[in-house]
Amino acid sequence: MRDWCTLDVPGVLDWTHRAFPRRPIHWVGHSMGGFATGLAHNNRLIARQLNVATLSGYWGRMAAPERYRVRLLMRFLAPPVVWAKGYFPGVLMGGEDLPGPAFLEWMGWCMEPEFLFGDETLPERRHFPEFRAPIRFVQVADDPWGTAAAVGHMAKHFSASVDRSIWQVTPTDAGVQKIGHFGFFRPDLRDTLWRQAATWLLAVQTKPA
């Protein structure tokens, strides 16, 4: 799991900076894609970042009763499946398949109250305070994983951001029945949530000092 954050994300940032040296880099991260930049050694290249449903994944901060399902699945049911199949079937949690080692590391973080910040084998945690760009966290009210507590716990670790905020959205705000963890990017939310997010994201056109 850490390789995506400490190798792939820095690679994307370096490539983008070289390919478009005169343009600011605006990052949109969903879930893990939002906190991955905190582990990237070159996160200073980001001019502005919008995080959607980006959370600190400790099971105890999730909404009940979902938190108990996640703990049971991750702690007891999923490991034998991973060991038998070599990967974690995404259908078990409503997402994509995960490589076995990635899932097992993710599981370890989710069992730890401090999430990845309690992983002493992850020295790249030191890069979180190096992130200085404005950052906004979208907390979806009916997301059982990305609760206010889970999003808030992650947001506080971007402590050096020059402008850090949390924007809570509800299905009522968007005129829909449900948004959830994955729903923010549905096309039917283009004229409500997307426009507000884009207005904030594009407000600054220069890179942070």
Same domain, 54 and 68: no
In a domain, residue 118? The reply is no
pLDDT digits (tens, 9 = 90+) for 28-41: 999 999 999 999 99
Q: Per-residue pLDDT averaged across 62-83, rounded?
A: 96
Residue position matching structure tokens 């029945």: 177
Residue 44 pLDDT = 98
Amino acid at 22: R
Residue 204 pLDDT = 61
In a domain, residue 89? The reply is yes
Q: Tell me the HSE value of 8 on the side-chain side, using a 13 A CA sphere.
A: 8
pLDDT surpasses 60 at 193: yes
Residue 205 pLDDT = 52
pLDDT digits (tens, 9 = 90+) for 47-66: 999 999 999 999 999 999 99
Strand order in the sheet with 46-52: 25-30, 46-52, 135-140, 164-169
In a domain, residue 120? The reply is no
Return all residues near 121 (Cβ < 8 A) that are at least 6 apart.
Answer: none
Q: Could you tell me if 6 and 12 are in contact, meaning their C-beta atoms sit under 8 angstroms apart?
A: no
Residue 93 pLDDT = 87
Domains: count for the chain: 2
How many helices (H) does the chain have, and how many strands (E)?
9, 6
Return the CATH number at 15: 3.40.50.1820
Same domain, 182 and 140: yes
In a domain, residue 149? The reply is yes
3-state secondary structure 11-74: HHHHHHHHHCCCCCEEEEEECHHHHHHHHCCCHHHEEEEEEECCCCCCHHHCCCCHHHHHHHHH
Return all residues near 70 (Cβ < 8 A) that are at least 6 apart.
Answer: 59, 62, 93, 110, 145
Same domain, 156 and 169: yes
pLDDT surpasses 80 at 208: no
Residue 95 pLDDT = 83
Range of the domain at 70: 61-110
Confidence bin at 118 (pLDDT 50/70/90) = very high
Confidence bin at 19 (pLDDT 50/70/90) = very high
Return all residues near 87 (Cβ < 8 A) that are at least 6 apart.
Answer: 97, 98, 99, 100, 103
Q: Per-residue pLDDT averaged across 143-156, rounded?
A: 98
